[in-house]
Structure 1
Amino acid sequence: MKNVLDKVRDELRNNVDENALATGQKFSKEKLKHYGVRTSVVRKIGKTFFKVIDSRSKSEIYGLCEDLWKSGYLEESIIASNWSHYLHKRYEPADFSIFQKWINKYIKNWASCDTFCNHTMGGFIEKYPSYVEKLQDFAKSENRWMRRAAAVSLIIPARKGKFLKDILEIADILLLDKDDLVQKGYGWMLKVASESHQKEVFDYVIKKKLVMPRTALRYAIEKMPKDLRSVAMAR
């Protein structure tokens, strides 16, 4: 099984793109550890090698994912995120603690956070809706990535019109967060929720707009009609 990771890493090194290597850091305030491989290529590499391990036990695959997370490389975190998402039909409640640990221990940038949480955590929450309440604990964490995860784990479910009550409760917890990446995260969550629940999200924004950071507010109303955006942005 370890040989698979050696081959994955060899393939990543063989696909370094000088432009991606040079420009990758521009998209992150945090210092990135990355090979410089385009995301589309990383996904293809991950998909190719998942076919090699697909027949193995879930615990073995999670072990490989953890080794990828431990490396700290952005590209390896994307592959780990995709591999864990490919297992969504095999999720069990006990997996939640594994996913929580990965977020808290290994995630160090927004790209890893969003790739993992949008799909793996989002898929888990959809399969086990009672666990959505645990995202409120994430929202109270001292770890900025746990707090962002509380919001971005609900992006895909929100796109389907799900979990509005929980979304508004998480937005309440994160409302005054001073971290701009957390503000953008919960603003994004509200924006996606507004596609199915425009009135409820608009009413929420109007109620909170005097204290809501402008960054979060702008994200939240981005998909709304111009007249509603104007009302929300008015001082």
Structure 2
Amino acid sequence: MKVVIRVNDIILIAKHYFKGLSKENGLTTSKVRAFSSKLYKTIEDKSIDNIFNICEQLLDEHKWELGVIAYDWAYRVRNQYNTDTFFVFESWLKKYVTGWGDCDDFCTHAFGELLSQNNELFKYVIIWTNHPSFFVRRAAAVILIYPIKKDKYHGINPYLISDMLMKDEHHLVLKGYGWMLKVLSQVEQDKVYEYLLKNKNIMPRVAFRYALEKVDEETRRRLMTS
């Protein structure tokens, strides 16, 4: 028999389960997600509104492990996403994400899936490149990784994002768009090559190196020496 847990008890159950556990003493994302999967099964009402309500309660605790659960559950209701979901996710990004780890977890799964479903939302992502918080600017690049990998980025111009973030002052933003270009190089090798060749003299080294990681040795040599 499936045990159904009341919404009000979910936070307490999760906090009790993780009591005394942390990344410092061996708690990993995979372990959190394993628990997340079990706990999710106890929720009777899996409508997007109810799940998002629970997710916000989890995020309000401002604890890493509860955030992992929230972003996992947000991804699990991906078949119920709609245009309004973007503004919910954007509010979470700006209110709850405080570092690159949360940014990447959220944007390479739930938020990236939403963008892959509706490429027209890209117009809102472009605006993030001017945000004062580095993790929001990083998100502008990292959110593209999921659609690129799924080949669901038609109408999205990844190079526009890297252009706008080209000389960003934060190294994690530079690494973010370098990572995005690295993934893009696996599906648009020639275009990425031309882009890197064109911008190699102005692109910061950290972004350039990240972008080259998946390029073959001969192409890498040409880019490094040309």
TM-score, normalization by structure 2 = 0.91
Aligned residue pair count: 219
Q: Measured at CA, do residues 163 and 127 of structure 1 come closer, stay the same or move farther in structure 2, by a change above 3 Å?
A: closer
Q: Distance in 2 between matches of 1:108 and 1:11?
A: 24
Q: Which of 50, 57, 78 is matched with 1:60 structurally?
A: 50
Residues 201 and 54 from structure 1, CA distance in 2 versus in 1: closer, same or farther, beyond 3 angstroms?
A: farther
Relative to 1, partners in 2 of residues 1:162 and 1:57: Cα closer, same or farther, differing over 3 Å?
closer
Higher share of residues assigned helix:
1
1:33 corresponds to which residue? none
Does the C-alpha gap of structure 1 residues 7 and 194 become closer, same or farther in structure 2, counting only changes over 3 Å? same
Match for 1:181 among 150, 172, 196?
172
What do the CA deviations read for 1:72-100 (whole angstroms, capped 9, x no partner)? 21111111110000010000111111100
Q: Which moved more, 1:168-177 or 1:60-69?
A: 60-69
1:103 aligned residue (85, 93, 96): 93
- Where do 5+ consecutive residues of structure 1 fail to align? 23-35
Distance 1:74 1:229 in 2: 37
Contact 1:171–1:186 (CA under 8 A) maintained in structure 2: yes
Matched residue of 1:71: which SS?
coil
1:7 aligns to what? 13
Deviation at 1:232, TM superposition (A): 2.0
What residue is the counterpart of 1:46 in the other structure?
36
**TM-score normalized with structure 1 length:** 0.88
1:145 lines up with 2:148 in the alignment: no
Where does residue 3 of structure 2 map in the other structure?
A: none
Distance 2:213 2:46 in 1: 43
CA shift for structure 1 position 101: 0.6
Aligned residue for 1:94, secondary structure, equals: helix
How do residues 89-168 of structure 1 correspond to structure 2 at under 5 angstroms? 89-163=79-153, 166-168=157-159
Uncovered stretches (5+) of structure 2, i.e. residues with no partner:
1-6
The one-letter code sitting in structure 2 at the alignment partner of 1:4 is: I
Matches within 5 A, 1:68-83: 68-83=58-73
Contact 1:69 1:77 in 2 (8 A): yes
* Cα distance in 1 for residues equivalent to 2:118 and 2:102: 23
1:190 is matched with 181
- Native 8 Å contact 1:21 1:37 kept in 2: yes
* Residue aligning to 1:21: 24
Render the CA deviation track for 1:37-87: whole Å, top value 9, x for unaligned. Answer: 221110011111111225343222111111221222111111111000001
RMSD after superposition: 1.6
- Share of identical aligned residues, percent? 33
Q: Is residue 201 of structure 2 the alignment partner of residue 219 of structure 1? A: no
